[in-house]
């Protein structure tokens, strides 16, 4: 007698059917425009990158004929403030803007599997209501009137599933919105879709049995990153103006790096986090490591445009938020920052040595900044406690032993995805004494790390405004090969705001074919990282044209200063030193 099929398979099929039905027939790509290798749901999880081929699909929305010329203009030629201004100034209707982005999001999904919940019908209804209100009153609903945004699947949207890729949570619509969703809608923003994540939310490749694997639209062999990978893919395809994700180990910054986007992990309390589904014991973040919510976008200006509206209002929507202030304008309209701005270069975390192209991009950014008026560049010595941060953050993430998540997975007969097999096991929850000891260690590390921001010499004390460091010790890797998370998890442990600025693509001269690293191997993480550069274990040419980015970090609660630093660095590396900085 044949064994009964696990319950998750039928649930996944129902979910896929519902997702497909939400895309109108006229928005569906003909089969010949979908590159070969768009595998079945099951195959997308198990097959390696060679099955997908080196394909960039970002041009398909422009050439497929589904979007009109006006919709292409709407989805490609505006920044956040310009698009909102066009709607509030009645140059564009919110309904036509939202339709254009919904269509583009539908196309993006058919090429990358980035969406979990298409909210197209309700988004179009909301857009019509915005147009009617503006027509009737002469006033916009809010400062983000009509702005199309997307959110990670973890955020609850009333009436839509928050399944986080688990069959056990499918077809259980949320009864109310997450706090951030309420805030965004109060500002006039329109949520057009929810986006894909990894099984357990704990891996750096967005892959699960309910929705399959999200593909990187720049090159479908590369990982799209996680756990906010669906947002990264959707934004890279211009399917949304701004995406909102969460970050506990790097889940905003890593997808931004993988798709050449800008990401912003704020300090705790700046953006409402409550009302999400995590699959974890409720309240875990209050006693372990607190994740935060934040935006991904295609420019620093777009991040600032939404943060300027969210931060001052966050305390009114989230019990987890604190009073916030976001000054305007960002900087005086001069050729230089308002005062000397000191930016430190931190080359390594002391645990995993960055591969040569990562070291090179840091040096290039430092040189750009040295030529920037009003900026002073200093080298930051390795803080002695920094190598301890990754392990401490990891222990705090796992204080509950993972039992709640594994119970959900096992209840529907779901196997772990291939990357998780052998890596995730049911552990033992920590006692209150063990947890207290971890938090005491954390406090001591935080105390020691405060010294990083003040450089003393015999003649003066210099305060460091921001630090530039790697996001990862390697370039964008193939799917399921992302290595060390310490360069991102560290700054959640320390609650430092941290952002991502893309610099340039990986080019032929970065390959250094025939040259191997000679640095001594620091440990098991470092050894694993070398495999991504060792020509016996990887063809380095897979990295060609991948985005090379840097991470920018500021002290705790200096979120506005993070924006300033990202703007300065972005202008410097894009050759716009001397141009007028963006106004808020």
Residue whose tokens read 């300065």: 568
Q: How many CB atoms lie within 10 A of CB 29?
A: 18
Binding site: which residues?
Answer: 201, 227, 248-251
Q: 163, 240, 251, 278: which one is catalytic?
A: 251
Q: DSSP assignment, residue 31?
A: G
With contact defined as beta carbons under 8 Å apart, do 574 and 485 qualify? no
* d(C-alpha 516, C-alpha 35), whole Å: 35
Task: Give DSSP secondary structure letters for 69-83.
Answer: HHHHHHHHS--HHHH
- Sign of the torsion angle spanned by Cα atoms 364, 367, 369, 373: negative
Structure token digits, residue 268:
């705790």
- Residue 152 a catalytic site member: yes
Torsion 533-534-538-542 (CA) sign = positive
The residue behind tokens 């357990």 is 200
Q: Which of 227, 267, 288, 489 is catalytic?
A: 227
How far is Cα 105 from Cα 239, in angstroms, rounded to an integer?
4
Q: State the catalytic residue, choosing from 152, 194, 265, 388.
A: 152
Is 251 noted as a catalytic residue in this protein? yes
CB 537 within 8 A of CB 531: yes
Task: Name the CA radius of gyration of the chain, rounded.
Answer: 23
Is 50 a residue of the active site? no
What is the C-alpha to C-alpha distance for residues 142 and 271, in angstroms, rounded to an integer? 18
Let me know: does 217 contact 476? Beta carbons within 8 Å: no
Asked whether the beta carbons of 208 and 199 are under 8 A apart, the reply is yes
DSSP per residue, 523-568: SHHHHHHHTTT-TTT--GGGGTT-EEEEEEE-STT-HHHHHHHHHH
Are 197 and 165 contacting, i.e. CB atoms less than 8 angstroms apart? Answer: yes
User: Contacts for 36-41 with beta carbons within 8 Å, 24 or more apart?
Assistant: 37/220, 38/111, 41/12, 41/16, 41/209, 41/211, 41/212
Asked if residue 214 has a cis previous peptide bond (ω within 30° of 0), the answer is no
Name every residue whose Cβ is closer than 8 Å to that of residue 68 and which is 6 or more positions away in sequence: 100
Q: Is the dihedral of CA 24, 27, 33, 36 positive or negative?
A: negative
- Is residue 401 a contact partner of residue 429, using CB atoms and an 8 Å limit? yes
**Residue positions in the annotated binding site for substrate?**
201, 227, 248-251
Which residues, at least 6 apart from 322, have a Cβ–Cβ distance to it below 8 Å?
Answer: 269, 270, 314, 315
**d(C-alpha 200, C-alpha 205), whole Å:** 11
Q: If DSSP codes are grouped into helix, strand and coil, which group holds residue 27?
A: helix
Give the DSSP letter of residue 329.
S
The residue among 341, 371, 386 whose CA lies nearest residue 496 is 386
Q: Which of 355, 390, 367 is nearest to 546 (CA)?
A: 355
Q: How far apart are CA 115 and CA 358, in angstroms?
A: 31
Active-site positions read 152, 227, 251
């Amino acid at each position: 007698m044949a064994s009964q099929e696990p319950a998750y398979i039928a649930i996944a099929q129902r979910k896929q059917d519902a997702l497909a039905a939400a895309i109108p027939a006229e928005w569906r790509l003909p089969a010949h425009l979908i590159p070969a290798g768009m595998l079945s749901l099951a195959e997308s999880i198990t097959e390696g990158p060679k099955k997908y081929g080196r394909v960039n699909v970002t041009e398909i929305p422009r050439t497929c004929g589904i979007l009109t010329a006006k919709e292409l203009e709407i989805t490609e030629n505006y920044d956040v403030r310009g698009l909102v201004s066009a709607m509030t100034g009645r140059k564009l209707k919110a309904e036509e803007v939202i339709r254009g982005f919904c269509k583009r999001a539908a196309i993006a999904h058919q090429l990358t599997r980035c969406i979990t919940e298409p909210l197209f019908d309700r988004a179009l209804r909301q857009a019509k209501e915005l147009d009617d209100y503006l027509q009737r009153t002469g006033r916009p609903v809010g400062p983000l009137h009509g702005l199309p945004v997307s959110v990670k699947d973890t955020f609850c949207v009333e009436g839509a599933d928050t399944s986080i890729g688990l069959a056990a949570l499918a077809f259980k619509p949320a009864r109310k919105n997450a706090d951030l969703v309420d805030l965004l809608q109060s500002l006039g923003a329109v949520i057009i879709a929810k986006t894909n994540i990894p099984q357990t939310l704990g891996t750096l490749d967005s892959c699960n049995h309910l929705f399959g694997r999200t593909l990187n639209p720049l090159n479908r062999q590369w990982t799209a990153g996680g756990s906010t990978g669906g947002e990264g893919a959707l934004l890279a395809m211009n399917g949304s103006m701004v995406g909102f994700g969460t970050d506990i180990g790097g889940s905003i910054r890593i997808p931004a790096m993988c798709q050449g986007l800008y990401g912003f992990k704020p300090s705790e309390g700046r953006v409402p986090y409550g009302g999400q589904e995590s699959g974890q014991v409720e309240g875990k973040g209050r006693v372990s490591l607190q994740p935060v919510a934040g935006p991904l976008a295609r420019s620093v200006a777009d991040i600032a445009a939404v943060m300027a509206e969210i931060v001052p209002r966050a305390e009114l929507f989230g019990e987890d938020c604190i009073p916030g202030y976001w000054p305007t304008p960002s900087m005086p309209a001069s050729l230089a920052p308002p005062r000397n701005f000191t930016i430190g270069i931190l080359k390594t975390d002391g645990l995993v040595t960055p591969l040569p192209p990562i070291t090179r991009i840091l040096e290039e950014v430092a040189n750009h900044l040295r030529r920037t008026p009003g900026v002073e560049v200093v080298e930051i010595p390795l803080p002695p406690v920094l190598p301890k941060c990754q392990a401490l953050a990891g222990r705090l993430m796992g204080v509950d032993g993972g039992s709640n998540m594994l119970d959900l997975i096992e209840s529907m007969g779901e196997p772990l995805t291939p990357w998780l097999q052998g890596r995730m096991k049911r552990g033992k929850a920590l006692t209150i004494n063990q947890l207290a000891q971890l938090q005491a260690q954390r406090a001591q590390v935080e105390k020691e790390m405060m010294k990083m921001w003040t450089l003393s010499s015999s003649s003066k004390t210099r305060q460091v405004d921001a630090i530039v460091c790697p996001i990862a010790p390697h370039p964008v890797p193939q799917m399921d090969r992302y290595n060390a998370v310490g360069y991102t998890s560290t700054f959640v442990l320390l609650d430092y705001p941290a952002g991502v600025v893309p610099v340039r693509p990986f080019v032929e001269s970065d390959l250094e074919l025939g040259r191997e690293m000679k640095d001594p191997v620091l440990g098991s993480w470092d050894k694993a990282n070398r495999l991504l550069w060792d020509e016996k274990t990887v063809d380095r040419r897979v990295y060609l044209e991948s985005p090379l980015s840097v991470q920018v970090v500021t002290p705790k609660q200096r979120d506005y200063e993070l924006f300033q630093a990202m703007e300065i660095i972005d202008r410097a590396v894009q050759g716009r030193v001397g141009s007028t900085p963006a106004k808020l």
